[in-house]
């Protein structure tokens, strides 16, 4: 007995170590499919494998990336960012994405890295090709310079660090790899959509026309067009020659008006305490999937249906429920920026704020008030947007005890 | 001086044990920097360095080459230094003193260095994060072991007088629990540090939760341990100093832990109402991030070593001095059973 007890005491730490550490060699990392989307689109297992195979043929693996010429991506840069973390005696480093990004953004770029769950805001999921902080029109892709700026400057108040200490070549490689993961993710969405549209017994043709011309090429083109979609801040969009105080006053009026409606979300105090129950697109997708699951469970429990239909629905519920548990982050509300802190995640230069108001924030509830395309009328004119820019930039210096004009008027009316 | 002490006891085992401690602690720092900077694979082969024998690798390339190569190759060279000191210590325990158990501990020290080196080599050859994790856990354990050797070989250890005070039993028990908690904390810390990007969603959160929970438990235990020691053995600097040191180090360690989090992941969102938190951006591979995180790792090792040393010293004071040269016999308390080898020294 004593021997057993003594053995237990001595080997408990070792046992704990083995349990916690695990044993056996890890498998090489693999890209994973978006199981929530797969479950929602009800893609059967054999078709899922087909999607994975097509994606591997088009994009390779995390250790061995590959790109078709249509993507316009530089394979040498991708090879520098991909694979296991290594460096040589000449200072050449590879595996940059795995070392710097994958813990949060995930190997697939799905924003589901192991640390993601405890970060607020969640890391970006690149697969939809939506990026918040950029110089281009709302639905357009960011330019390389936009992605580089985010990498170099980081995002204030979040876990996204500044990689300003990395050499230029490494930053370039990471920018290329983010674009690669995003294109891969969007291609996956295109493929699963195509699979979902197939009628029973129909197969997706594995041809260049279908896979590359119809699915990959439009995705790649949207990235290649990004530099043409930059919102100009000169010419017709140049800042009006107007006294600063006058511009701020005009901006203040707009901020609280129904036309710009900024106060609705940013609050009457501009502390970001207006509407705080909206979701960004990533959380909204999960929220809608959860609602769909709840509705399906309800149907399963209450509605009358044939045994076959019940079995199919039960299978769908099980798949979606499992996907939401393992491949999704709990939805979180999008909190509007507190404009009195003077912290602007997309950049604090006046033209950054101009573009943020003009195009809104892609994927977030912040709407665009500029024209949807050049020449079209927008909610606000360029001059009005500049007035708002001046007011927003003045907010950190405005005494918060001074209530905004419209709210003051309402209070007087109530008295 | 205690009359039973061997007056001809050589000072060399103790000197070499102290040298082992002094060489191992920088190894913990260098190893920590290797992980912090992701330099574990800066030299792809082992035991050679880019095909060269470890000692024959051109020093100009090492010193003036990339920083990652500098710290990884330096880590290996420093490891061989620790190994040589361990050999010298083993020789001294066989040649310069007569305690049989100490000889076996000397052999264990050498085996420990070799095993840790082999783990480091395997980590490189297999490029396996799980082995890196074990390597990262064994390092602090080996360092604590060297501190225990330095304590056991000291004159103060040999001249320690047995005390019948009941408080010593409580100190022993608290010491054992604290040491085990620090070890558990190291294992949990390794889960956070050697994180595979492939780890399932939620694993990191779980490890972090336990890391914080164990930190709270540890703080409570160290407070109790220090209070016990200061209450009953305030005059006994052999116990009081490490007890106070342990408490101070733990408080600093909590600060470094928070600092490591902030410099890697930013401030928690509930602090974003404050401008400094809302505007903060971590700088990847920056000096503040690298040194705060590495200091957290190194201080963790120091805490483990201090806790083990305090526990062994309390056991020493509560064990019969005559057991030093007596044949091994069943110990009487659970902690004595666990560490009967140390008590028999």
What are the residue ranges spanned by the domains of chain B? 12-153, 164-345
> With an 8 Å Cβ cutoff, is A161 touching chain B?
yes
A306 and A285 co-located in one domain: yes
Q: Residues A142-160: pLDDT tens digits? A: 999 999 999 999 999 999 9
The SS3 of residue B249 is helix
A319 and A262 co-located in one domain: no
Phi and psi at residue A361, to the nearest 5°: -120, 115
From first to last of its 345 residues, chain B has per-residue pLDDT tens of 444 445 567 899 999 999 999 999 999 999 999 999 999 999 999 999 999 999 999 999 999 999 999 999 999 999 999 999 999 999 999 998 888 899 999 999 999 999 999 999 999 999 999 999 999 999 999 999 999 999 999 999 988 887 767 678 889 999 999 999 999 999 999 999 998 999 988 899 999 999 999 999 999 999 999 999 999 988 889 999 999 999 999 999 999 999 999 999 999 999 999 999 999 999 999 999 999 999 999 999 999 999 999 999 999 988 653 344 333 444 444 444 444 444 445
Answer yes or no: is A18 within a domain. no
Contact A129, A180 (CB under 8 A): no
Place of tokens 């989090």: B261
Answer yes or no: is A265 within a domain. yes
Domain boundary pick from A297, A326, A355: A326
Instruction: Give B148: exposed, middle or buried? Use CB within 10 Å, 0-12, 13-18, 19+.
Output: buried
A224 and A254 co-located in one domain: no
A250 and A113 co-located in one domain: no
For residue A385, the domain's CATH number is: 1.10.760.10
Q: Which residue from B188, B200, B194 is spatially nearest to B40, judged by alpha carbons?
A: B194
CA dihedral A111→B137→B229→B213, nearest 10 degrees, is 20
Domain boundary pick from A263, A294, A326: A326
Q: Residues A314-337: pLDDT tens digits? A: 999 999 999 999 999 999 999 999
Q: Do A84 and B127 touch (CB under 8 A)?
A: yes
A153 and A252 co-located in one domain: no
A93 and A241 co-located in one domain: no
State whether the Cα torsion A356-A362-A365-A369 is positive or negative. positive
A210 and A293 co-located in one domain: no
Which ranges constitute the DSSP H helices of chain B?
12-36, 59-64, 67-95, 100-126, 129-152, 155-158, 166-193, 203-232, 237-265, 275-278, 287-317, 334-338, 340-343
Contact A108, A31 (CB under 8 A): yes
A298 and A376 co-located in one domain: no
CA atoms within 13 A on the CB side of A35: 18
Answer yes or no: is A66 within a domain. yes
Instruction: Give A10: exposed, middle or buried? Use CB within 10 Å, 0-12, 13-18, 19+.
Output: exposed
Q: How many angstroms separate the CA atoms of A208 and A216, rounded?
A: 10
Q: Is the peptide bond before B47 cis (omega within 30 degrees of 0)?
A: yes
Enumerate the residues of chain A whose CB falls inside 8 A of the CB of residue B278: 156-157, 338, 341, 343
Q: Do A21 and B187 touch (CB under 8 A)?
A: yes
> With an 8 Å Cβ cutoff, is B271 touching chain A?
no
Q: Do B195 and A115 touch (CB under 8 A)?
A: yes
List the beta strands (DSSP E) in A117-194: none
Answer yes or no: is A162 within a domain. yes
Ranges under pLDDT 50 in chain A: 1-5, 7-9, 11-15, 17-24, 412
Answer yes or no: is A12 within a domain. no
Indicate the helix (H) or strand (E) that contains A202: none
Q: Residues B83-116: pLDDT tens digits? A: 999 999 999 999 988 888 999 999 999 999 999 9
Q: How many angstroms separate the CA atoms of A336 and A339, rounded?
A: 9
Place of tokens 């164990």: B214
Contact A16, A9 (CB under 8 A): no
> With an 8 Å Cβ cutoff, is B286 touching chain A?
yes
Number of folded domains that form chain A: 3
A239 and A301 co-located in one domain: no
Enumerate the residues of chain B whose CB falls inside 8 A of the CB of residue A27: 198
Q: Which residue from B36, B70, B75, B71 is spatially nearest to B292, judged by alpha carbons?
A: B36
Answer yes or no: is A2 within a domain. no
Place of tokens 């290649």: A224
pLDDT at residue A377 in the model: 84
Contact B257, B186 (CB under 8 A): no
A173 and A265 co-located in one domain: no
Q: Residues B247-277: pLDDT tens digits? A: 999 999 999 999 999 999 999 999 999 999 9
Residue of A nearest to B270 (CA): A120
The SS3 of residue A93 is strand
Instruction: Give B118: exposed, middle or buried? Use CB within 10 Å, 0-12, 13-18, 19+.
Output: middle
Q: Give the range of the structural domain holding residue A210, as residue numbers without chain letter.
A: 35-228
A107 and A177 co-located in one domain: yes
Answer yes or no: is A11 within a domain. no
By Cβ distance, the residue of A21, A120, A157 closest to B280 is A157
In DSSP notation, B285-310 reads T-HHHHHHHHHHHHHHHHHHHHHHHH
Contact A108, A127 (CB under 8 A): yes
A215 and A344 co-located in one domain: no
Enumerate the residues of chain A whose CB falls inside 8 A of the CB of residue B44: 86, 88
């Amino acid at each position: 007995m004593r021997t057993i007890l003594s053995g237990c005491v001595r080997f408990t730490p070792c046992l704990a170590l083995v349990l916690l550490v695990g044993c056996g060699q890890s498998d090489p990392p693999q890209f994973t499919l978006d199981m929530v989307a797969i479950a929602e689109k009800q893609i059967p297992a054999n078709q899922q494998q087909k999607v994975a195979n097509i994606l591997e043929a088009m994009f390779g693996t995390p250790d061995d990336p590959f790109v078709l010429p249509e993507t316009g991506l530089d394979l040498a840069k991708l090879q520098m960012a991909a694979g296991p973390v290594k460096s040589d005696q000449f200072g050449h480093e590879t595996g940059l994405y795995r070392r710097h990004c994958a813990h949060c953004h995930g190997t697939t770029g799905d924003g589901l890295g192991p640390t993601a769950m405890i970060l607020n805001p969640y890391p970006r999921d690149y697969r939809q090709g939506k990026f918040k902080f950029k110089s281009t029109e709302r639905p357009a892709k960011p330019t390389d310079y936009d992605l580089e700026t985010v990498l170099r400057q980081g995002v204030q108040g979040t876990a996204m660090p500044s990689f300003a200490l990395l050499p230029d070549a490494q930053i370039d490689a990471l920018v290329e790899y983010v674009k690669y993961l995003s294109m891969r993710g969007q291609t996956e969405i295109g493929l699963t959509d195509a699979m979902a549209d197939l009628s029973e017994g129909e197969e997706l043709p594995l041809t260049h026309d279908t896979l590359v011309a119809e699915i990959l090429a439009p995705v790649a083109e949207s990235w290649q067009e990004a530099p043409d979609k930059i919102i100009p801040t000169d010419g017709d969009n140049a800042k009006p020659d107007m006294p600063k105080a006058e511009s701020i006053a005009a901006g203040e009026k707009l901020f609280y008006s129904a036309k710009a409606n900024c106060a609705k979300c940013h609050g009457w105090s501009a502390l970001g305490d207006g509407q705080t129950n909206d979701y960004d697109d990533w959380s909204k997708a999960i929220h809608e999937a959860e609602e769909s699951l709840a509705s399906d469970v309800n149907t399963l429990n209450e509605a009358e249906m044939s045994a076959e239909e019940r079995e199919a629905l039960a299978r769908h519920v099980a798949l979606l429920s499992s996907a939401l548990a393992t491949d999704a982050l709990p939805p979180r509300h999008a909190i509007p920026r507190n404009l009195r802190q003077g912290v602007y995640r997309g950049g604090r230069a006046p033209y950054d704020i101009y573009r943020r108001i003009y195009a809104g924030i892609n994927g977030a509830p912040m709407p665009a008030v500029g024209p949807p395309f050049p020449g079209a009328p927008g909610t606000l004119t360029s001059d009005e947007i500049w007035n708002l820019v001046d007011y927003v930039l003045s907010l950190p210096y405005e005494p918060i005890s001074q209530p905004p004009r419209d709210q003051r008027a309402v209070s007087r009316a109530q008295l | 001086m205690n009359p039973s002490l061997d007056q001809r006891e050589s000072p060399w085992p103790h000197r070499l044990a102290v040298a082992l401690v002094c060489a191992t602690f920088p190894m913990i720092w260098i190893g920590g920097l290797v992980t912090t900077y992701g330099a574990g694979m800066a030299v792809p082969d082992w035991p050679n360095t880019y095909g060269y024998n470890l000692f024959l690798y051109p020093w100009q390339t090492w010193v003036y080459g990339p920083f990652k190569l500098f710290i990884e190759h330096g880590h290996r060279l420093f490891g061989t230094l620790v190994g040589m000191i361990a050999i010298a210590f083993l020789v001294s325990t066989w040649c310069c003193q007569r305690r049989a158990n100490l000889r076996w501990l000397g052999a264990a020290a050498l085996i420990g260095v070799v095993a840790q080196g082999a783990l480091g080599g395997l980590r490189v050859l297999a490029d396996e994060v799980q082995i890196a994790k074990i390597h990262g856990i064994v390092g602090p354990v080996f360092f604590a072991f060297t501190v225990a050797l330095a304590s056991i070989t000291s004159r103060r250890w040999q001249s320690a007088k047995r005390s019948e005070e009941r408080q010593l039993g409580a100190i022993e028990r608290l010491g054992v629990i604290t040491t085990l908690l620090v070890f558990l904390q190291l294992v949990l810390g390794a889960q956070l540090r050697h994180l595979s990007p492939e780890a399932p969603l939620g694993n990191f959160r779980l490890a972090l939760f336990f890391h914080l929970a164990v930190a709270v438990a540890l703080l409570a235990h160290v407070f109790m341990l220090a209070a016990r020691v200061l209450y009953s053995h305030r005059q006994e600097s052999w116990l009081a100093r490490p007890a106070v040191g342990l408490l101070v180090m733990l408080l600093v360690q909590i600060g470094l832990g928070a600092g490591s989090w902030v410099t890697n992941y930013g401030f928690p969102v509930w602090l974003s109402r404050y401008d400094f938190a809302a505007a903060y951006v971590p700088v990847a591979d920056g000096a503040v991030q690298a040194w705060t995180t590495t200091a957290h790792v190194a201080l963790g090792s120091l805490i483990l070593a201090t806790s083990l040393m305090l526990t062994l010293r309390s056991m020493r004071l509560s064990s019969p001095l005559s057991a030093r040269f007596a044949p091994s016999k069943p110990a009487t308390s659970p902690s004595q059973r666990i560490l009967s080898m140390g008590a028999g020294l």
